[in-house]
Amino acid sequence: MTPWALALFALPVAAETVTPDPKAPTFLQTLFQVEQAPLVKVFRREAGSDPVILVGPRGDKLYESRHPDAVRWYSNTSLDIVSIEDPELGPWQALGKVEAILDYQGIAFAEPAWPSPRYAGEEVRLCQPYQEAAHALTPEEVQHLVVARTWLTSAHLGQDDNFGFSSSAKVSLQPDGSLYCARFSLPDLAGHYRWHLENKAGFDKQAFSHDLELKKVPFEVTLPPPADVLSPHLYQLHLLADDILAGSVRARLVLHLGDNQTTTRILRLDEKGLGELRYPQEPGQNVTVTGSIGFEDSSGQTRQLKLAPRTLVAMPPKPVAAPKPEVVVEAKSSISGLWWLLALLPVLFGSIWWLLRRRNGEKAVSESVLEMPETQPQAQENDGFLLDLSRPDDFNEKI
């Protein structure tokens, strides 16, 4: 070795200082041991990070988007839940921004306490208990994981009113402590139904069903039309069932007016089971009425029914009289037609008189000619001269 090489080895080497990330998972933190089947784990990772990659004992990798059918994988923004029916035993590793690896036993939903509604349109509250035995998830994570929905389908028999009913809208249950609950209204048609409840928690699913019969609504609504534009709207509620106390009935009516305005009225029944609401009528403005009825049945159970929407039809407003057209008086001459007629009468009568006279004169001449005899002797002509009576000289000379 040359002296120059020895000198290079003798020089101090500056080492680079690396500061470890306290949040970065270490190799040992991402390792876990599988000792029995099945494998069900929760991998909590940094929010918004990519799903983890699982590496088996032999180096085989499993991805959220690519894995065997025997592997079930649920993933969201901060969780991966993986279930493997027959995993290879030994050490496994999770690659990614892993914060914790926890055992998971799933979420178990119990059979709900089905309500016992009696009437169509009744409002009910359905609740279902659940349990996450391993306590691997926070309540917020459970809320994002669980999807619980309920709905009804027709199971009509004979002459049920719900013959043409297929399915109601699906209603989601929301967490309420250790329960998942939902409040909703049953269909308005009487008949037989099948009540469904479905739960999903990741890749776990559960389903429940219950048969139900609904009777017709024990109330009738009538809407007598107003007598005239000054009469109020009438909304009448009649009690039809004998096993319901009229004094316990309380109807909450919501009147939907124009321009998205609403007003609320409370209606109670008299001892005859009749309740009447009067509301001022605005000509040409209809009012839609919705609401609900609360009452106690013969068993003392409080029930709530949803009222079907009804419309109070207003009388049309009086038509506005069209303005009369303005009469334009044309300027006329000071001499009216009558004066012109009077002025022409003398001319007219004079013309008629002249025509008649001329005609009579012509007739007289013709008649005189006809009366003259044809043998009348003619006067002899003067011999050589004419007698001029205007000249007295000639008269004397002739004599």
Count how many domains the chain has: 3
Asked whether residue 257 is domain-assigned, the answer is: yes
Answer with the one of 214, 239, 260 that is the final residue of a domain: 214
Whichever domain contains 181, its CATH number is 2.60.40.10
| Whole-number pLDDT of residue 356 | 77
Are 240 and 297 in the same domain? yes
Note whether 140 and 172 are same-domain residues.
yes
With respect to residue 87, please indicate whether it lies within any of the assigned structural domains.
yes
The rounded radius of gyration (Å) of the Cα atoms in the chain is 58
One domain for residues 89 and 135:
no
DSSP collapsed to 3 states, the chain: CCHHHHHHHHCCCCCCCCCCCCCCCCCCCCEEEECCCCEEEEEEECCCCCCCEEECCCCCEECCCCCCCCEEEEECCCEEEEEECCCCCEEEEEECCEEEEEECCCEEECCCCCCCCCECCEEEEEEEEEEECCCCCCHHHHHHHEEEEEEEEECCCCCCCCCCCCECCCEECEEECCEEEEEEECCCCCEEEEEEEEEEECCEEEEEEEEEEEECCCEEEECCCCCCCCCCEEEEEEECCCCCCHHHCEEEEEEECCCCCEEEEEEECCCCCEEEEEECCCCCCCEEEEEEEEEECCCCCEEEEEEEEEEECCCCCCCCCCCCCCCCCCCCCCCCHHHHHHHHHHHHHHHHHHHHHHHHHHHHHHHHHHHCCCCCCCCCCCCCCCCCCCCHHHHHHHC
- Residue-level pLDDT, tens digit, the chain, 399 residues: 555 444 444 444 443 444 445 455 555 578 999 999 999 999 999 999 999 999 999 999 999 999 999 999 999 999 999 999 999 999 999 999 999 999 999 999 999 999 999 999 999 999 999 998 889 999 889 988 999 999 999 998 888 998 889 999 999 999 998 899 999 999 999 999 999 999 999 888 999 999 999 999 999 999 999 988 899 999 999 999 988 989 999 999 999 998 889 999 999 999 999 999 999 998 889 999 999 999 998 888 899 999 989 999 998 877 766 676 766 555 555 556 677 777 777 777 777 877 777 777 665 555 554 455 544 444 444 444 444 545 555 444 444
On whether both 197 and 249 belong to a single domain, the answer is: no
CA separation for the pair 129, 173 (Å, rounded): 11
Please indicate, yes or no, if residue 21 is contained in any of the structural domains.
no
In a domain, 55, yes or no: yes
Q: What pLDDT, on the 0 to 100 scale, is given for residue 17? A: 43
Closest C-alpha among 167, 272, 288 to residue 223: 288
Does residue 277 sit within a domain? yes
Within this chain, do residues 115 and 89 fall inside the same structural domain, yes or no? no
Q: Residues 286, 201: one domain?
A: no
Q: Looking at the structure, do residues 83 and 57 belong to the same domain, yes or no? A: yes
Residue 299 belongs to a domain? yes
pLDDT at residue number 320: 66
Is residue 206 located within the same domain as residue 293?
no
Q: 117 with 207, same domain?
A: yes
The last residue of one of the domains, among 52, 73, 104, is 104
Cα–Cα dist 373/276, whole Å: 120
**Per the structure block, which two tokens stand in for 145?**
């994981």
Domain ends where: 104, 120, 146?
104
Q: Please check whether residue 375 lies inside any domain of the structure.
A: no
Residues 198 and 118 in one domain: yes
Does one domain contain both 294 and 280? yes
Residue-level pLDDT at 265: 96
Q: Are residues 72 and 149 in the same domain?
A: no
- Is residue 304 one of the residues assigned to a domain? yes
Q: Write b or e for each residue in 282-292: b if 16 or more Cβ atoms lie within 10 A of its Cβ, otherwise e.
A: eeeeebebebb
What is the pLDDT at residue 337?
66
Decide: pTM greater than 0.75.
Answer: no
Cα–Cα distance for residue pair 264/365, rounded to 1 Å: 113
Full residue range of the structural domain in which residue 54 is found:
31-104
